[in-house]
């Protein structure tokens, strides 16, 4: 059995009943297993993590997108995080690197179905991108819902990969793709200076000459500001490295880190790296994690 992960981000983090209904639509699919749901009221965004075989995962993602389109109106949506869709981004993630192709196929088939049945414009990104300029999600989502609404029907560069060349009046558009595991990680600063957060983000992110495999933006949040990051390859730039980069750059400006948070689920190896650094224990790894070793035994017994 080949399981893949799906991590849709929905543009609702304040109405618990809406998030619950979307999650229930996903969980109702036989073979789809919801692992985690995280909502953030400031970002006004929820991240649902589930796994299943490719067919079940694609069906569950479709039902989640359909529920979000019915329940979320972007005309009245406000939040700190950029968005252009009710179901803003729907990535498929392989649990084994060799299975990325399965995720690309699932994304392509889902995109066609969403465009056809829900009449929503769909943009394929990352490994599923049909145009090189659409690999980067930030470029795909440029202008957000309001900007895309004005340009989708007139600018050839904004024509969707699937679905109509017109914005859905309330649900916007959706980015669907396949990508390796990604860690969403936020660091809150003890400051209310959003320009400071934006400056630090610009200094550390890859596209501006900073850390490789790191995306970052600066955001205003309730009670302060935040450097919001995506670690697109935690083996290249780790959680420890990302945190240290923000803390050091804030420190030279006389600002402390207030807190940090991981959004969604992370590979255990990423946390093992944090432990290695904190404990100065270079040989500490996944093999030292009790639950990981128990799971290995369970899988071996099942496969016999």
User: How does pLDDT run across 180-226, given as a tens digit for each residue?
Assistant: 999 999 999 999 999 999 999 999 999 999 999 999 999 999 889 99
- pTM score over 0.95: no
Q: Which residues contact 150 (CB under 8 A, 6 or more apart)?
A: 143
Mean pLDDT of the chain: 95
pLDDT for 235 equals 92
| CA 144 distance to own-chain centroid | 16
The dihedral formed by the CA atoms of 98, 101, 103 and 106, expressed in degrees to the nearest 10: -150
pLDDT for 290 equals 85
| CA 220 distance to own-chain centroid | 19
Burial 180-202 (b: 16+ CB within 10 A, else e): bbbbbbbbbbebeebebbbebbe
Domains of the chain, earliest start first: 4-178 (3.30.990.10), 183-266 (3.30.70.670)
pLDDT for 304 equals 59
pLDDT at 301 over 70: no
Token look-up 């400051």 returns 191
- The catalytically annotated residue of 33, 43, 77, 81 is 81
% of the chain exceeding 90 in pLDDT? 90
- Mean pLDDT to the nearest integer, 233-256: 97
Name the pLDDT band for 256 (thresholds 50, 70, 90). Answer: very high
pLDDT for 197 equals 98
Name the pLDDT band for 292 (thresholds 50, 70, 90). Answer: confident
Q: Is the torsion defined by CA of 59, 60, 65, 70 positive or negative?
A: positive
pLDDT for 302 equals 57
Among candidate residues 224, 100, 82, the one with its CA nearest the CA of residue 147: 82
pLDDT for 227 equals 98
Q: Which residues pair with 217 in a beta bridge?
A: 228
Q: Is 81 a catalytic residue?
A: yes
Residue 270 CB-half CA count within 13 A: 20
- Mean pLDDT to the nearest integer, 90-112: 95
- Mean pLDDT to the nearest integer, 59-70: 98
pLDDT at 246 over 60: yes
Among candidate residues 132, 110, 133, 131, the one with its CA nearest the CA of residue 122: 110
| CA 278 distance to own-chain centroid | 26
**H/E element, 257:** strand 257-263
Lay out the sheet containing 257-263: strands in order across.
214-221, 224-231, 183-189, 257-263
pLDDT single digits (tens) 166-177: 999 999 999 999
């Amino acid at each position: 059995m080949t399981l893949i992960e799906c991590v849709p981000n929905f543009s609702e983090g304040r109405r618990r009943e809406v998030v619950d209904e979307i999650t229930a639509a996903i969980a109702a699919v036989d073979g789809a297993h919801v692992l985690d749901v995280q909502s953030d009221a400031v970002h006004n965004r929820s991240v649902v993590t589930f796994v299943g075989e490719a067919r079940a995962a694609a069906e569950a993602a479709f039902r989640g997108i359909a529920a979000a389109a019915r329940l979320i109106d972007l005309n009245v949506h406000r939040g700190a995080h950029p968005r252009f869709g009710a179901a803003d981004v729907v990535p498929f993630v392989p649990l084994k690197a060799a299975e990325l192709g399965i995720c690309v196929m699932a994304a392509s088939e889902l995109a066609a179905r969403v465009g056809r049945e829900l009449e929503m414009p769909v943009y394929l990104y990352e490994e599923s991108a049909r145009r090189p300029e659409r690999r980067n999600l930030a470029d795909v989502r440029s202008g957000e819902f309001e900007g895309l609404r004005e340009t989708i029907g007139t600018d050839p560069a904004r024509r969707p990969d699937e679905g109509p060349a017109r914005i859905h009046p309330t649900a916007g558009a959706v980015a669907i793709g396949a990508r390796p595991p990604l860690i969403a990680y936020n660091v809150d600063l003890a400051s209310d200076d959003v320009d400071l957060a934006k400056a630090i983000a610009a200094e550390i992110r890859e596209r501006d000459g900073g850390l490789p495999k790191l995306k970052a933006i600066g955001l205003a949040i309730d009670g302060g500001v935040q450097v919001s990051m995506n670690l697109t390859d935690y083996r290249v730039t780790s959680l420890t490295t990302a945190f240290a980069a923000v803390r050091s750059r804030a420190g030279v400006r006389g600002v402390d880190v207030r807190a940090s948070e991981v959004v969604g689920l992370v590979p255990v190896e990423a946390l093992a790296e944090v432990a290695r650094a904190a404990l100065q224990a270079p040989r500490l790894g996944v093999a030292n994690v009790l639950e990981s070793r128990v799971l290995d035994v369970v899988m071996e017994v099942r496969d016999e």
